């Protein structure tokens, strides 16, 4: 499967350079110590590639709440 950061970078690069995308929609979740983080610190290769694309006019849409909250349970556990 390879390095996931490289795969995301390559996908953004392909969308911008090869497909001339004007809008990119991504659903990304970063797992850190078994906790899902919505955002990272902007230092990964793919985040920098995304920033460069956005600076050049590409609109990014990121999904929110993919894991959701189970409102049927009192403990509010995150479910997939």
What integer pLDDT is reported at residue 80 of this predicted model?
45
Q: What is the pTM of this model?
A: 0.65
Q: Does the residue 31 lie in any domain?
A: yes
Question: Dihedral of the CA atoms 34, 47, 22, 66 (nearest 10)?
Answer: 10
SS3 of residue 35 by DSSP = strand
Q: Does the residue 67 lie in any domain?
A: no
Nearest to 50 by CA among 20, 24, 80: 24
Q: Does the residue 71 lie in any domain?
A: no
**Total domain count for the chain?**
1
Q: Does the residue 20 lie in any domain?
A: yes
Distance CA(56)–CA(37), nearest Å, equals 26
Q: Which domain holds residue 29?
A: 4-62
37 beta partners? 30
SS3 of residue 27 by DSSP = coil
What is the per-residue pLDDT across 25-74, written as a single tens digit (0 to 9) for each? 987 766 666 655 545 677 778 888 888 999 999 998 877 665 555 555 55
What is the per-residue pLDDT across 5-25, written as a single tens digit (0 to 9) for each? 788 889 999 999 999 999 999
Q: Does the residue 57 lie in any domain?
A: yes
């Amino acid at each position: 499967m390879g390095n996931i950061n490289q795969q995301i970078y390559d996908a953004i690069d392909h969308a911008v350079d090869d497909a001339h995308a004007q809008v990119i929609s991504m659903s990304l979740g970063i797992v850190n110590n078994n906790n899902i983080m919505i955002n990272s610190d902007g230092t990964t290769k793919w985040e920098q590639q995304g920033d460069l694309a956005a600076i050049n006019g590409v609109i990014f849409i990121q999904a929110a709440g993919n894991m959701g909250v189970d409102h049927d349970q009192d403990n509010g556990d995150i479910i997939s």
